[in-house]
Structure 1
Amino acid sequence: METLKNYSSTDKDAQQVQEVDLRAGDYGADSELRRILSTRHITMIALGSSIGMGLWLGAGSSLAVGGPAAVFLGYLLAGSLIWSVSQSIAEMAVVYPLPSAFTQWTGKFVCPSASFALGWAYWFAYVIGIANEMAAIVTVLRFWTDKLPIAAWITIFLIVVIVINISIVSVIAEMEVIASTIKFGWIFVVIISLIVTSAGGGPDHETVGFRYWKEEPFINGFKGFLAVMPTCLFAMASSENCALVAAETANPRKSVPRAMGSVWMRLSLFYILGAFVVTINVNPKNPNLFGAAGGGTNTSPFVIAYRQSGLDPLAHMMNAVIFISVFSSGSIAGYAGSRILMGLANLGLAPVAFKKADQIGRPWYGLFLTLGLGGALAYLNVNQNAAKVFFWLSSLTSLISLFGWAMICLAHIRFRYTWKLQGRDVADLPYKSWAFPYAAYWGLTCSIVLIVLLFYLAVWPLGGKPNAKNFFATYSSVIAILALYLGARVYHRGPWWVKAEMIDLDANRRFYAEVDAERGPKKGLKARAEKAVGFVFS
């Protein structure tokens, strides 16, 4: 492999022209993936890839269990957490855009054992994501018809997800761009229309206002609020997907900060305002809510809000958008799971076969295992209540996500510590998070506290006595993570931490030239104007 001379990190002039990989074909130096995605792709994936079952359907089960105030506060807390994590992702993914991103960051800056536990746990979370989104598709379609068997629906859409994932990566990215654009446009319609219907502007002219907030803002007290948190966290899980996509992006220094800069919009519009308009329109005791105890139709609270206001056309359009959302989330879960396996293999923590990708960057072994197991788990929905399966799987995913977010923040803290310890200047970083260290410490602390609080809920469940079945159904992912970590510790032994002074900060690092990798060198007045605008908004 031909490379430029590796200059000293103190030679700033050399750093400006440094490039790591000059091989033809846009292959990454650290994997067989191809760097063919653009800023548009990664921005839209960051905006919409995680908008799926967790918000559109999960808000119903949360409302029934916790009440309107608990739902709103739950999304507010989860939003502050993922915003903090996104600050760490933005800085780390620019410097180290690797196939499994946070798994490899953890191995580099924390320890191999934590990386092993995180990587395999996250891979299983993506497998669960495929199963959960396939189950959601069945729930959505049964709003229109229940004549086709559940297994048939799952099989049809699982085949479509597989076809998308075995296409070239730009096909997956373009699908996400289309889906995210639809979701992003529709959320404006949802927020405005549901505020209008709450004020009595619907065909039924019934003014709801803050009726449900006044009647019972919190259902089941503090336990009800805790019971809401797994769904809120599950809804925001996969927000870190853009860190994985960075490895296949032409210019992460440009793409990643822009993508992560859109997180505030996604949090405020999709989750916080979206959850808020549901709480002012839908009765928490409505038996038709998804996950409600009434045994109704298991419908999205957004659809219920439109139907009860007499807006049936909007109810059908809402259901169609939910279908697109959960379908795209299932597709991106297959993509992310296969890339996690590739990163683990690059670290020597998974069979070497998972390193392999074909000439257009498809990791066949990772795709086969991820889509195969995810598809098999999807059939749990055939003999079980959809809301019950959702509760089990979202609880497992939420706890894995909390562990992952904690490791991302910890790796970022260790990265900055190592950078300073080895005498490097923060000004030399290609991108710097303005919220460090406060965001990283908040993300780490909040994740740990929530893991502990959810242990309390697993031992003393809402509306029941302590029992082993409930504990293992809701907390087994933490037990699995501990088992993976301790097993890896026994195998690797050595120190509990990677010694900061021994970390090679330039290994697997992406260096950047002053040339824009997506458009090539820019000249003239336009280039100077763009540089000035970039300076103002940086």
Structure 2
Amino acid sequence: MGSSSLEIQQQDDPKTQGHDIDEEKNFDIALGHEMSVQKPDFAVGEGITSFEEVGEMRQGLHQRHIQMIALAGTIGTGLFLGSGSALVNGGPLGAFLSYTIVGMGVSGVCLAVGELGALVPLSGGMVRYAEIFFDPALSFADGWNQIYGTVVGLPAEMVAASVLVSFWIEVNNAIWISVFGSLVMITSLLFVRVYGELEFGFAILKIALIIIVNITALVITCGGGPSGDPIGFRYWKSPGVFAVEYMGYTNNLGKFMGFWATMVSACFAYSSIQGFANPAAETRSPRRSIPMAAKRIFIRIISFYAISIFMTTLVVPSTDPHLLQESGTASQSPFVIASQLAGIKVLPSVINTLLICSAWSAGNSFMLSSSRTLYGMARRGFAPKHFMRLNRFSIPYVAVAFIGVFIALGYMTLDNTASTVFTWMQSLVAVSALVDWIVVLITYLRFYYGCKAQGISRQELPWASPLQPYLSWTALSFFLVVIITNGFEVFLNGHWSTETFISSYFGIAFVVVLYFGYKVIKRSKIVSLQDMPIREFIEIANANPEDPPKPKKGWRKLNILWE
């Protein structure tokens, strides 16, 4: 691309509380030539050392908030409840391998998002990156895919929270779905700083829960429980490292199919894990905070997901009758079952309380990520402009309200088919997550080769993720195989299920129709490698350096979580 002078026009602080933001007043970046994508919105006001998207979404999230949100923000029912079905279908080794392998692929996704987010910190995350570095049609399709995944995933979290409450008291779950749904809505409509502090606290609680569970499992395994019986690897030997059978198949093929079926549970557990970059415009020092969050994803996956699943498989047999209840509720938590089997009376209630907080927290993460995605889409014309309306706290309240309406889907689980409905929700969210991860990796690879085509060294970027492009190609290949085969059981002789087929493949058709529909109607084109505005973003980053991090003092030198 030719050299260009960046003419960043200053404008007065727009007061966008409760009314639409005028797209005509956006800051214009004059690139000196025609571009095949819409010009991105940036402002560089006095005293601001990071990108700030026009719209005055307040930068209320500090580094510790974004670090802890990335560290434990989306840990919820996928790990604490969904792991039950994974253990049943795949056995102890199958569950451990599926969560670990999917986690490795997701690490590649998060590193790619971190690199893009450090260069282009805009609200909406991948919706914005896909438009700039690939095709507006892909941005449109994936944006609505993310929204669709959220409107299914959010009620699933609320249902899970209500099921957990029934551990103590049996009342109509509609009451608790309404209570937790209201809490999520209230939290999401306040200052983003309130959300940040709340999630900061929840993240600490979830980390404490995981530590408690793992230490307890280790003690029980070694014979430190009330029974004094050392378990060791007893449940790996009997009933075995893989499930005894899957859908009637008892040979090695059945064991492999059971293991592969756990991939959906693992994908559900990791859904929205890459959403830490979505509130980039509300994050202080995003070029430092976002990469730091991305780099810690791998440690988080090993420390939280892999180790927790492994320790649970040691103390809960895959054939335990309580793992999958047919009483109209979702799977019971294997973490609670482990404590009950060991005869520890108080611990199950403690764990259950923290599990409820985790479900609430995961619901908050879904809401923040999706509302900012919807806001970002509205800014680009991919959604109605009403979703750009901000309240007095600079929160896109119309977007929050729209997402919140779908919490009512949780009421579908109130009859005797609740466990089936929850399974469908889990599958729908998992496929939506897979689609989003694939879009992330495709967009990132286009960006990577765009840099090479323009002669841009990776050392010029604000942050360059490691092992690229090999990590992205490997993850992309793996996720493509998973998304194509995730509903394989419906093709087995005598196991056809229309509902399972739809929940397994609707997400793919949904995105394909949106992508090609947009291209036909809007006649969008894939951005060529030479036309990507990579150099312009680098120059903006270089012209607006962030303040250096403050040196650690005292006890902060021991803090490895968010500093």
TM-score with structure 2 length normalisation? Answer: 0.84
1:470 matched to 2:500? The reply is yes
Aligned to 1:500: 529
Deviation sequence 1:169-193 (CA, Å, 0-9, x none): 1111111100001111221221121
Using the TM superposition, name which of 499-508 and 235-244 deviates more: 499-508
Which of 288, 293, 314 aligns to 2:322? It is 288
Please tell me whether the aligned partners of residues 64 and 292 of structure 1 are also in contact (alpha carbons under 8 angstroms): no
Supply the distance in 2 between the matched residues of 1:353 and 1:50 (Cα, whole angstroms): 28
Aligned to 1:107: 131
User: CA 1:153 to 1:20, structure 2 compared with 1: closer, same or farther past 3 Å?
Assistant: closer
Aligned to 1:488: 518
Using the TM superposition, name which of 265-274 and 212-221 deviates more: 212-221
User: CA 1:344 to 1:7, structure 2 compared with 1: closer, same or farther past 3 Å?
Assistant: closer
Offset at residue 94 of structure 1 (A): 0.4
Supply the distance in 2 between the matched residues of 1:449 and 1:29 (Cα, whole angstroms): 37
Aligned to 2:389: 356
Aligned to 2:23: none
> Which structure 2 residues correspond to residues 391-406 of structure 1 after superposition, within 5 A?
391-406=423-438
Which of 461, 480, 483 aligns to 1:451? It is 483
User: CA 1:95 to 1:297, structure 2 compared with 1: closer, same or farther past 3 Å?
Assistant: closer
1:33 matched to 2:62? The reply is no
Which of 40, 53, 60 aligns to 2:84? It is 60
Please tell me whether the aligned partners of residues 287 and 293 of structure 1 are also in contact (alpha carbons under 8 angstroms): no
Offset at residue 229 of structure 1 (A): 0.8
Using the TM superposition, name which of 182-191 and 321-330 deviates more: 182-191
> Which structure 2 residues correspond to residues 513-524 of structure 1 after superposition, within 5 A?
516-517=546-547
Please tell me whether the aligned partners of residues 32 and 355 of structure 1 are also in contact (alpha carbons under 8 angstroms): no
Offset at residue 292 of structure 1 (A): 4.7
Deviation sequence 1:207-256 (CA, Å, 0-9, x none): 22212212222222122112211111111111112111222111111111
User: CA 1:295 to 1:165, structure 2 compared with 1: closer, same or farther past 3 Å?
Assistant: closer
Supply the distance in 2 between the matched residues of 1:88 and 1:69 (Cα, whole angstroms): 29
Where structure 2 has 5 or more consecutive residues not aligned to the other structure, the ranges are 1-8, 12-26, 33-41, 247-254, 553-563
Supply the distance in 2 between the matched residues of 1:350 and 1:185 (Cα, whole angstroms): 40
User: CA 1:163 to 1:478, structure 2 compared with 1: closer, same or farther past 3 Å?
Assistant: same
Offset at residue 60 of structure 1 (A): 0.8
Please tell me whether the aligned partners of residues 89 and 243 of structure 1 are also in contact (alpha carbons under 8 angstroms): yes
Deviation sequence 1:58-97 (CA, Å, 0-9, x none): 1111111221111011011111111111110111100011
Please tell me whether the aligned partners of residues 316 and 337 of structure 2 are also in contact (alpha carbons under 8 angstroms): yes
Offset at residue 47 of structure 1 (A): 0.7
User: CA 1:164 to 1:295, structure 2 compared with 1: closer, same or farther past 3 Å?
Assistant: closer
Offset at residue 475 of structure 1 (A): 2.3
Supply the distance in 1 between the matched residues of 2:341 and 2:113 (Cα, whole angstroms): 42
Indicate the percent of aligned positions where both proteins have the same amino acid: 30
Aligned to 2:158: 134
Aligned to 2:453: 421
Offset at residue 346 of structure 1 (A): 2.0
Supply the distance in 2 between the matched residues of 1:167 and 1:501 (Cα, whole angstroms): 42
Deviation sequence 1:248-269 (CA, Å, 0-9, x none): 1111111112212221221012
1:323 matched to 2:331? The reply is no
Offset at residue 507 of structure 1 (A): 6.3
Please tell me whether the aligned partners of residues 329 and 413 of structure 2 are also in contact (alpha carbons under 8 angstroms): no
Supply the distance in 2 between the matched residues of 1:479 and 1:229 (Cα, whole angstroms): 20
Offset at residue 312 of structure 1 (A): 1.7
Aligned to 1:335: 368
Supply the distance in 1 between the matched residues of 2:210 and 2:124 (Cα, whole angstroms): 31
Using the TM superposition, name which of 240-249 and 47-56 deviates more: 240-249
Using the TM superposition, name which of 468-477 and 35-44 deviates more: 468-477
User: CA 1:132 to 1:518, structure 2 compared with 1: closer, same or farther past 3 Å?
Assistant: farther
Please tell me whether the aligned partners of residues 458 and 475 of structure 1 are also in contact (alpha carbons under 8 angstroms): no
Offset at residue 358 of structure 1 (A): 3.5
Offset at residue 513 of structure 1 (A): 5.5
User: CA 1:192 to 1:78, structure 2 compared with 1: closer, same or farther past 3 Å?
Assistant: same
Aligned to 2:509: 479
Supply the distance in 1 between the matched residues of 2:346 and 2:149 (Cα, whole angstroms): 35
1:200 matched to 2:208? The reply is no
Offset at residue 503 of structure 1 (A): 2.3
Offset at residue 314 of structure 1 (A): 1.2
Offset at residue 443 of structure 1 (A): 1.9
Aligned to 2:271: 237
- Read off the aligned partner of 1:81 and give its amino acid letter: G
Supply the distance in 2 between the matched residues of 1:130 and 1:268 (Cα, whole angstroms): 25
1:2 matched to 2:30? The reply is no
Supply the distance in 2 between the matched residues of 1:75 and 1:331 (Cα, whole angstroms): 23
1:252 matched to 2:286? The reply is yes
Offset at residue 483 of structure 1 (A): 2.0
Please tell me whether the aligned partners of residues 87 and 440 of structure 1 are also in contact (alpha carbons under 8 angstroms): no
User: CA 1:95 to 1:353, structure 2 compared with 1: closer, same or farther past 3 Å?
Assistant: same
Supply the distance in 1 between the matched residues of 2:393 and 2:469 (Cα, whole angstroms): 39
User: CA 1:384 to 1:478, structure 2 compared with 1: closer, same or farther past 3 Å?
Assistant: farther
Aligned to 2:471: 439
Offset at residue 506 of structure 1 (A): 5.5
User: CA 1:370 to 1:279, structure 2 compared with 1: closer, same or farther past 3 Å?
Assistant: same
Offset at residue 418 of structure 1 (A): 1.3
Please tell me whether the aligned partners of residues 328 and 413 of structure 2 are also in contact (alpha carbons under 8 angstroms): no
Offset at residue 459 of structure 1 (A): 3.4
Supply the distance in 2 between the matched residues of 1:431 and 1:110 (Cα, whole angstroms): 20
Using the TM superposition, name which of 355-364 and 194-203 deviates more: 355-364
Which of 363, 367, 382 aligns to 2:400? It is 367
> Which structure 2 residues correspond to residues 159-308 of structure 1 after superposition, within 5 A?
159-215=182-238, 216-219=240-243, 220=246, 221-289=255-323, 291-292=324-325, 298-308=331-341
- Read off the aligned partner of 1:299 and give its amino acid letter: Q
Supply the distance in 1 between the matched residues of 2:520 and 2:71 (Cα, whole angstroms): 40
Offset at residue 152 of structure 1 (A): 1.1
Supply the distance in 2 between the matched residues of 1:167 and 1:34 (Cα, whole angstroms): 12
